[in-house]
Structure 1
Amino acid sequence: MARRFRGSEEVRVDAKGRVSIPAKFRRVFESADPEWETGKRPQLVIVFGTRDWKYLQLFTIEAIEEIDERISRLDRGSPSRNYLEHIYQGHSEEAEIDGDGRLVLPQKLRDKIGLTDSAVFISGGDNLKVWSPAAYEEEERAIEARVPELEPGADPLSLLSQQVAASSPGQG
């Protein structure tokens, strides 16, 4: 299993749409690209999603291959498969990180999420989300508003114990 993304970074976007991928994130893209070796450019997939997405998702090759495999196991022609193919195959682009550690974000994708001179990377395990700083700030407030019944100051990891209890039949 490849390393996972952790952390967040705000980076500059130049006039050509290039963003520097922080080294800690580049290492994950490299380790999760089966064809990568020193001197080669790590590959990734940019998913731009549906109209309402305000972010881009950057997936490692291993992660997108796992998603593709899971989609292919769904019934051909089913609404779920059609929808997932639409997003993860139809609304995506293959990309690579250049020799200087930069990723070029096409203008149409920058326009879609309102990206101008800076971008926020937020880790999501096997992917990175790319937001405009303003849209991410709005999302951060929305996430905090959706927190399930957590007392102020409570340990967020207590939510994991609720999951374990709910999935463990016969306890209690």
Structure 2
Amino acid sequence: MKRKFRGEYTQKVDGKGRVSIPAKFCRALESSDPDWSEGKPATLFLVFGDKRRAFAEGYSAESMAEIEAGISALPRGTPRRLALEKAFFRQSDEVLVDGTGRIVLPRPVREKIGLLDEGEAVFCATGDRFQIWNARDFHAQDSGDDPADAVLDALGDDRDITELLNDGWNAS
């Protein structure tokens, strides 16, 4: 079973786009990379093209292999496959995590999240992947309307959050 990404971390980004990946994220990347071994860099896939989002997403080698298999299973030339190919092949990059846990964010990723100069990035775990935000944008959206908060409000104070795992869950 592959490791999941967990937690939220704020990391400094220098003027060249170098940033340290949170140590727990590095361990998850290593354990999910079939080519990784002690002393070798782990692979990280960065997806940055979704214009509906203000963040880039990081995927492990194993997660990306699952996505690629799903894309390959779709009929060629269909709108769904074309959209997925654009997002996961054309608007993505493969980077290596060095021995100190650092990467260089590719320029398109820095442009996407608005970090062309030095600043801070927030690494926000979402299970099998993680988001990379400009810290300013992350904190601005985090203080606004959050769809997750609306679901929790509908759940009510007297019900357990794990009820959301049930297929038949509804707000009543």
- TM interval, short-chain normalised: 0.7 to 0.9
1:76 to partner: Cα distance: 1.1
Q: CA-to-partner distance for each residue in 1:48-100, whole Å, 9 max, x for gaps?
A: 02333211111000000100000111111111111111101110001010121
Corresponding residue SS for 2:75 = coil
Corresponding residue SS for 1:71 = helix
1:165 to partner: Cα distance: 5.4
Q: In the alignment, which residue of structure 1 is the partner of 2:13?
A: 13
RMSD value over aligned CA atoms?
Answer: 2.0
The whole-number CA distance in structure 2 between the counterparts of 1:53 and 1:63 is 20
- 5+ residue gaps in structure 2? none
Identify which of 123, 142, 145 aligns with 1:142. Answer: 145
TM-score by length of 2: 0.87
- 5+ residue gaps in structure 1? 167-172
Q: CA-to-partner distance for each residue in 1:124-148, whole Å, 9 max, x for gaps?
A: 1111110011221233333257623
Asked whether the 8 Å contact 2:48–2:108 carries over to 1, the reply is: no
Asked whether the 8 Å contact 1:18–1:102 carries over to 2, the reply is: yes
Q: In the alignment, which residue of structure 2 is the partner of 1:169?
A: none
Asked whether the 8 Å contact 1:53–1:113 carries over to 2, the reply is: no
Q: In the alignment, which residue of structure 2 is the partner of 1:117?
A: 119
Which amino acid letter does the alignment assign opposite residue 47 of structure 1? V
CA gap 1:114/1:39 in 2 versus in 1, 3 angstroms: same
| Structure 1 moving runs of 4+ over 4 Å | none
2:171 is aligned with 1:160: no
Corresponding residue SS for 1:15 = coil
Identify which of 125, 128, 141 aligns with 1:126. Answer: 128
Count of paired positions: 165
Asked whether the 8 Å contact 1:12–1:117 carries over to 2, the reply is: yes
Asked whether the 8 Å contact 2:55–2:134 carries over to 1, the reply is: yes
Which amino acid letter does the alignment assign opposite residue 15 of structure 1? G
